[in-house]
């Protein structure tokens, strides 16, 4: 890949998800042709069905890998290794993988990409701001009581649009090949702080109700998650939500030449869009 993105095509996996959707938009804005692929989209792609890979890869120049359901899930390393080999057979050499800061379960998948022979970049991100405005956690915020096993530890939440912008820069700038970027927001907030900010923006109280990881696992089981999914989530959360504060990094500033988006701005914007209406 070069700085000139004209006539170059990026495959975006998980294009209907939080970061995939933003990644596709950012790639389009940067001048790429975008092949938006997902399990239910026009371009079908499933990490667990390799028969969907070839058509998604055909004609692409680079790919953004957003692994579902989680980059640390069992078998993710094997699938990423196989996909990277197949991608190179199709001439797709630049691969950018989204990973997670502090998730030790993601290390095998990262290693699989590094050892694949592709031009790789790993982008490790902290907790997404958009976890509060879409997906599994949204209903808890809307209900007025956000139940979560985060204790009082603080995290430098990041906007998924910043993730997308960093990914696009990694796709276009060869200086990021062979590097691992750790990207965060600019300041730490506890989950209680986050609910207070959302409450102020939404104009109604949303309480934070901390629970243990095991208690949260029981809640997930009640939502219909399998015992294996519950056990994996508990294992990941035990490591990520251990009560310690997540460190703020400067990688967003260094890569993009600007500060990360702020949580207050995120909360006001999404409240105005009606994200947290009861």
Rounded to whole angstroms, how far apart are CA atoms 148 and 126? 16
Residue in 122, 138, 136, 104 with CA at minimum distance from that of residue 236? 104
Structure token digits, residue 13: 């996996």
Domains along the sequence of the chain with CATH:
9-128+157-185+247-261 (3.40.50.720)
pLDDT tens, position by position, 189-237: 999 999 999 999 999 999 999 999 999 999 999 989 999 999 999 999 9
Instruction: Report CA Rg, the chain.
Output: 19
Roughly what angle, to the nearest 10 degrees, separates helices 18-29 and 160-172? 50
State the average pLDDT over residues 240-247.
Answer: 90
20 — phi, psi (to 5°)?
A: -65, -45
From residue 55, how far is each of 86, 88, 152, 174, 269 by CA, in Å? Answer: 11, 14, 46, 26, 37
**Chain centroid, CA 12 distance in Å:** 13
Structure token digits, residue 175: 């200086």
Q: Give the model's confidence band at 278: pLDDT under 50 very low, under 70 low, under 90 confident, else very high.
A: confident
Question: Would you say residue 72 has pLDDT above 60?
Answer: yes
99 forms beta bridges with: 124
Please tell me the predicted confidence (pLDDT) of residue 7: 76
State the average pLDDT over residues 150-169.
Answer: 97
From residue 265, how far is each of 139, 155, 176, 194, 197 by CA, in Å? Answer: 21, 17, 29, 12, 10
Question: Would you say residue 4 has pLDDT above 60?
Answer: no
For 96, what's the count of Cα atoms within 13 Å in the CB-facing half-sphere? 30
220 — phi, psi (to 5°)?
A: -65, -40
Question: Would you say residue 54 has pLDDT above 60?
Answer: yes
Q: What percent of the chain has pLDDT over 70?
A: 98
pLDDT tens, position by position, 178-198: 999 999 999 999 999 999 999
**Chain centroid, CA 161 distance in Å:** 10
Q: Give the model's confidence band at 107: pLDDT under 50 very low, under 70 low, under 90 confident, else very high.
A: very high
């Amino acid at each position: 890949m070069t700085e000139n993105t004209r006539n170059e095509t990026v495959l975006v996996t998980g294009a209907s998800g939080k970061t995939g959707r933003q990644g596709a938009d950012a790639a389009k804005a940067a001048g790429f042709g975008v092949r938006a692929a997902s399990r239910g989209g026009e371009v079908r792609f499933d990490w667990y069905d390799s028969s969907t890979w070839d058509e998604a890869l055909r004609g692409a120049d680079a790919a953004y890998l957003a692994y579902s359901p989680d980059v640390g899930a069992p078998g993710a390393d094997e699938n990423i290794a196989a996909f990277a080999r197949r991608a190179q057979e199709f001439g797709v050499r630049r691969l950018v993988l989204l990973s997670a800061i502090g998730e030790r379960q993601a290390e095998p998948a990262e290693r699989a990409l590094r050892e694949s022979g592709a031009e790789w970049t790993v982008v490790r991100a902290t907790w997404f701001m958009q976890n509060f405005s879409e997906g599994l956690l949204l209903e808890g915020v809307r209900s007025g009581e956000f139940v979560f096993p985060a204790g009082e530890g603080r995290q430098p939440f990041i906007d998924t649009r910043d993730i997308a912008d960093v990914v696009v820069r990694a796709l276009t700038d060869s200086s990021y090949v062979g590097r691992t970027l750790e990207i965060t927001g600019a300041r730490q907030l506890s989950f209680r702080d986050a609910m207070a900010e959302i409450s102020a923006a939404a104009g109604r109280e949303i309480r934070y109700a901390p629970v243990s990881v095991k208690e949260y696992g029981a809640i997930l089981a009640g939502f219909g998650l399998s015992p294996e999914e519950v056990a994996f989530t508990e294992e990941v959360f035990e490591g990520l939500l251990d009560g310690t504060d997540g460190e703020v990094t400067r990688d967003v500033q260094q890569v993009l030449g600007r500060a990360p988006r702020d949580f207050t701005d995120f909360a006001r914007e999404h409240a105005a869009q009606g994200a947290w209406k009861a």
